[in-house]
A = this chain, B = another copy of it.
Amino acid sequence: MKNYFKVDEWKIIEEGFDPEYNKVAESVFSLGNGRMGQRANFEEAYSGETLQGNYVAGVYYPDKTRVGWWKNGYPEYFAKVLNAANWIAIDVKIGDEQLDLAKCEIIDFRRELNMKEGYLSRNMAVRTASGKELRVESTRFCSIVDDEAGAIAYTVTAFNFDGVITLTTFIDGDIANADANYDEKFWDEVSKQVNGDSGVLQLRTKKTGFEVATAMKVSVLQGGYPINFSANPVRKEKYIGLEIKINATRNQPVTLFKYAANLSSQNYEKQELSAKALDTVERVSEKGFAIMLKEQAEAWAEKWKHNDILIEGDAAAQQGIRFNIFQLNQTYTGEDDRLNIGPKGFTGEKYGGSTYWDTEAYCVPFYLATAEQKVSRNLLLYRYKQLGKAIENAQLLGFKNGAALYPMVTMDGIECHNEWEITFEEIHRNGAIAYAMFNYVRYTGDEQYLTDYGLEVLIAISRFWAQRVNWSAQKELYVMLGVTGPNEYENNVNNNWYTSTIAVWCLKYTLDVIEKVKAKDASKYAELAARINFDEQAETDKFKDIIAKMYLPYDDELQIFLQQDGFLDKEQTLVKDLPESERPLVKKWSWDRILRSPFIKQADVLQGLYFFEDDYDLETIRRNYDYYEPRTVHESSLSPCVHSILAAKLGDVDRAYEFYLRTSRLDIDDYNDDTEDGCHITSMAGTWMSVVQGFGGMRVKNGQLLFNPLLPPKWNAFSFHIGFRGVLLNIKVSKEAVAITNTSDRDIEVSVYDGRYFIKANSEEVIKK
């Protein structure tokens, strides 16, 4: 699989077509604008292997829970990403022969994802079964300027024939979900209309009752000039089409422009949805394809100005990081606090709901540094708004008094995952949600957030921890039984060090924030305490007692934190002893063997040391890294980035680089053989972190930025952009120097290595190494 796509600094390029990789290419070439997203399915019919996917943000369906043996606490239905109406479809008929790449001889084929300007293009020449030769060129994008719209320019040129070409452009709502448990279809038709050059189809989801109107409008060029055409409307159940017959002459290109819009009832009244969708396609079609595409390129240029990471001397690494940043920007824009970042974004439907702890642990740092403050704030507010459901979720499991357990996976606050050892036990996610708040306030200085929203969430989370621990009469300490840590290759363990550590941290942070909020706005605090029945004295006493007496497993001999009780009972083999043929373990080994083995899926103790690095000296981090990394198989896409950052911190630039490459080209190189299901969107933020926090060594302490850069030997230089409290910086690390350019109108003081530098507005500071 590796090297299927060509290396290019700004593009992903596919030369020649290999049907075996089509689903991978569909994922990698996905387009999105935060509001809607589309896999790189072909416009025309394709009878080969494909995974159709058009997703409208925030619109989901309720799938029936499927488990082996039911356990109390599972919801009966849960929300999953929904495949919506297919809006890109253009059926092509040459005479009576349908164009279908799976049935043609391919003369040439090239597909490019232009990440710089945000569009996908395809150019191919084919010979049909009957011998007709033609070229198809298509360019399409999901507009980030008009974020409910997409546009396609689809050009067919006959080479060796004249005759009628029938282009049927349609919207099809009768689509299935590959990830559905019961093969049901989840859309019902509400209404449709199609006439002249446009049409709209309005559908409603079963049970959840979302409505989406998908509209289209078309125009046609022939030989470069607009032509009048008459389209024959086609109406079927959950389907509208416009059939256009063109008398084609050889070498004279015929271009169909298709403007489409997806409007959701989350944003409009249901009864006006169809009309608004038609308005939208009308409006964008008046701009026209060329202007839309130009606006798209300009808007992407603006994004790249704040986002881009430049790597000199290593094109594969450069392509990798840009692909990651590109996909993150396609997935989430932060405009809407009801939305979040699914592990597959708009590139696939796997993994059910949209929100994991990935958002807080991996994505928030990316958006904090590369987007407006409201973007990460909206990610925090998303959880705030779901606090009520998190409390209900905890009640379902037997917790009381406003304790909250956020779901492992969710779309709307309700749990979407149903394995007891994860759903009920992988509770460290609660900690990541608190940590993201801490991270946000540390980065932005926005303490008001804590007063207005944060403290309420923190108290609910701390109440959960206070009830989740129990007193061990034997240890004379609090213990945390029956948990699953980030390393999901251990289930239902006792005293997972990471979980217990983040629980204690949450309690401490909550106490700290209580004091801050009280000092800042006593009446608001009193109002909150009354509303949530917070018995400050009794509850904070309990929090303090747990902080003081929490059991955190440690091995005196190895001087490391123990991942959990009994970890040292395991057979002490290392990853390097594993034959390649037995990897990945999750595909080659039975589950019980994985569980009993010492092998770690992803950073666990090390995740804690990454989060709370200031609480541990470098030697402690090194000992734990040296112990746990050789036991880690990195079978989660979230694993290499944390290891890369820690390796960089420990000065091991080679290992840091190795982990970086693995994370940044995960999907382009289909490293885990699963990109066909969609891209690993959330781990892409981890890739960004491994450059900025790893090689860049960026941290925030006491409201100031710190950098401790390290340059991988293979690179001549690298640079990245950072926004920090109204200041925009570009940091360039070369062999000789660290150059920091302040492109904003505010001065800033930063630390680089051990020195402090005052960088004036609109000026540059070059720090020689």
Where the two chains meet, the residues of A that have a C-beta atom closer than 8 Å to any C-beta of B are: 65-69, 71-73, 396-398, 418-421, 424-425, 470-475, 479, 481-482, 491-492, 494-495, 565-566, 568-572, 586-593, 595-596
**A75–chain B nearest beta-carbon distance, Å:** 12
Q: Given A420-B591, A565-B566, answer yes or no on A481-B68 (Cβ-Cβ < 8 Å).
A: no
Name the residue in A491, A589, A590, A592 with the highest tally of chain B Cβ atoms < 10 Å from its Cβ. A592
Copies of the chain in the assembly: 2
9 interchain pairs, CB-CB under 8 A: A68-B418, A71-B591, A72-B591, A396-B590, A425-B592, A474-B568, A482-B592, A491-B491, A565-B565
Q: 3 nearest interchain CB pairs?
A: A424-B592, A71-B591, A73-B590
Instruction: Out of B418, B479, B586, name the residue touching A569 (CB < 8 Å).
Output: B479
Q: Is the CB of B481 within 8 A of A566?
A: yes
**A567–chain B nearest beta-carbon distance, Å:** 9
A587: B residues at CB distance < 8 A: 72
**A738–chain B nearest beta-carbon distance, Å:** 46
Chain A contact residues: helix, strand, loop or mixed: loop
Q: Given A398-B590, A492-B492, answer yes or no on A596-B67 (Cβ-Cβ < 8 Å).
A: no
**A423–chain B nearest beta-carbon distance, Å:** 9
A419: B residues at CB distance < 8 A: 68-69
**A642–chain B nearest beta-carbon distance, Å:** 24
**A279–chain B nearest beta-carbon distance, Å:** 44
A492: B residues at CB distance < 8 A: 421, 491-492, 595
Instruction: Out of B73, B472, B570, name the residue touching A470 (CB < 8 Å).
Output: B570
A481: B residues at CB distance < 8 A: 566, 569-570, 595-596
Q: Given A482-B595, A566-B565, A592-B424, answer yes or no on A571-B470 (Cβ-Cβ < 8 Å).
A: yes
Q: Is the CB of A571 within 8 A of B72?
A: no
A472: B residues at CB distance < 8 A: 568-570
**A420–chain B nearest beta-carbon distance, Å:** 5
**A379–chain B nearest beta-carbon distance, Å:** 27
A569: B residues at CB distance < 8 A: 470, 472, 474-475, 479, 481, 494-495
Name the residue in A65, A473, A566 with the highest tally of chain B Cβ atoms < 10 Å from its Cβ. A566
A397 to B500, CA, bound (A): 32
A72: B residues at CB distance < 8 A: 586-591
Chain B residue, CB-CB nearest to A568: B474
A566: B residues at CB distance < 8 A: 481, 494, 565-566
A65 to B589, CA, bound (A): 19
Q: Is the CB of B482 within 8 A of A568?
A: no
A171 to B155, CA, bound (A): 66
Name the residue in A397, A471, A494, A586 with the highest tally of chain B Cβ atoms < 10 Å from its Cβ. A494
A68: B residues at CB distance < 8 A: 65-68, 418-419
A473: B residues at CB distance < 8 A: 568, 572
A495: B residues at CB distance < 8 A: 569
A419 to B592, CA, bound (A): 11
**A594–chain B nearest beta-carbon distance, Å:** 8
A595 to B494, CA, bound (A): 11
A470 to B566, CA, bound (A): 13
A593 to B397, CA, bound (A): 7
A69: B residues at CB distance < 8 A: 419
Chain B residue, CB-CB nearest to A474: B568
A425: B residues at CB distance < 8 A: 592
Name the residue in A73, A474, A569 with the highest tally of chain B Cβ atoms < 10 Å from its Cβ. A569
